[in-house]
Structure 1
Amino acid sequence: MARFLLVHGASHGAWCWRDVVPALIAHGHAVTAIDLPSHGADPTPAAAIGLQDYIDAILAALPEPALVVAHSMAGVPATGAADRAPDRVQRLVYLCAYRPEDGDSVAGLRRAQAEQPLLPAIRRAPDGVTFRFDPAMAPELFYHDCSTADRAYALDRLVPQAIRPQAEPVTLTGAIASVPRSYILCSEDRAIPPRDQRRMAEPLPSSDVHERPWSHSPFLATPEALASLLADIAAS
């Protein structure tokens, strides 16, 4: 049995793993999915949080060592958490996620992309604290291969995304090098271009890079297949 900690991406919450959690449990694993601060059911005001709060939330959810699965934006704070406590992260799995080096931020990694599919959909709040994704554009960006019901389920639960945690750079000491890491590359992703995922995955061993013809949200579109792949990664 392996222990999994599932960490969602921007504007999402623990709710996005709704179908993956029972599928992993069916494989015999223990699973926890968390809400990062100001996401899901967490009441923290968006104006009160920074990147360190995300990192602290991930570490607080690791009383025992676990495989950490980080989706999209969560790749940056999950890397920061693994660097601070490598003994608590058995393996870090990037699910079409940003994989930072020291000094990188979510916003910086996005801006480094040759293509900017998310930029036209971002609606910044007047106060400059948060942004939202245009609900008319989000389905094609994130959920194009999901069912109509699953699209509606997700769109109803998206929350404003705090800007500061995405803008702040992560500081890495080098301890992350001792943590085994895998990358799940989603070749049909319309949010983080697959070419950029390949670039971020390239430093990892080829045996730890798993390419699948999935969108940005395989936890909704193909949860059983995602759970099966995560179980295989845990077994390896």
Structure 2
Amino acid sequence: MSRFLLVPDLWFAPSIWQPVVALLQRQHEVILADVFPGDAAEDWIDNVVRALEEAQPDTLVVHGTATAVISNALARVSNLPERIVMVAGLGVAGGRQAMLDELLADNPSNAVRGHVKDRGEQRHLAASVLVEAFYSEVEPVVSNAVGAVTVDATLFTTPFAAWSADVTLQYIECVEDQYVHITGQRRFRHSLSIMWTNTLQTGHLPMLTAPEALTACIAKVGINDSRYNR
């Protein structure tokens, strides 16, 4: 059994995590940080620090925009979690967000493995299980992106290297629905026996929400790396 602390995205109500909390509590201890969209920055950080100190989790899962400020909370904690899982969008060298359809155009298998040449520049892209399943048409294989993929930049400002000597960092990538056809999304859900869809009103229809992805991650490989799409 492991102890998870989930820190929701600053934009989304924590209630989206309730289904996964209920499911995972059958095998793990899962605690949801008492934070909510609209909290003042200092209040949010104080609440996360309090949750970390009280829960003493071995795995901290940080969702979305919360990754941009989680370092401020971790700096105030004496005992860091063994593992920090970042759930956020990935950028590429030069600060431009990767356009997956463009990067996959020439050789999808290269993109899946995390190395893409774009306009003569070597770029790095965290491989999505969804992309791998869609293009290879095989059972999705969950592999570890950290160490195999160089994260040149994220859409946020979290300094990944700050805790590299103390904790295991894992990264779950956002890939928005316009990059992969709906049939691929359905096939991925089916392959992982994900039977529900939690649609968030965030400007796009997510292929997978963070709760679905975390459920799939635990169900398939225990506590390991995964890819997720919100």
Could you tell me the TM-score, scaled by structure 1's length?
0.47
* Higher helix content, 1 or 2: 1
User: Taking CA–CA contacts closer than 8 Å with sequence separation of 6 or more, which of the two structures ends up with the larger relative contact order?
Assistant: 1
Could you tell me the TM-score, scaled by structure 2's length?
0.48
- Pair member with larger Rg: 2
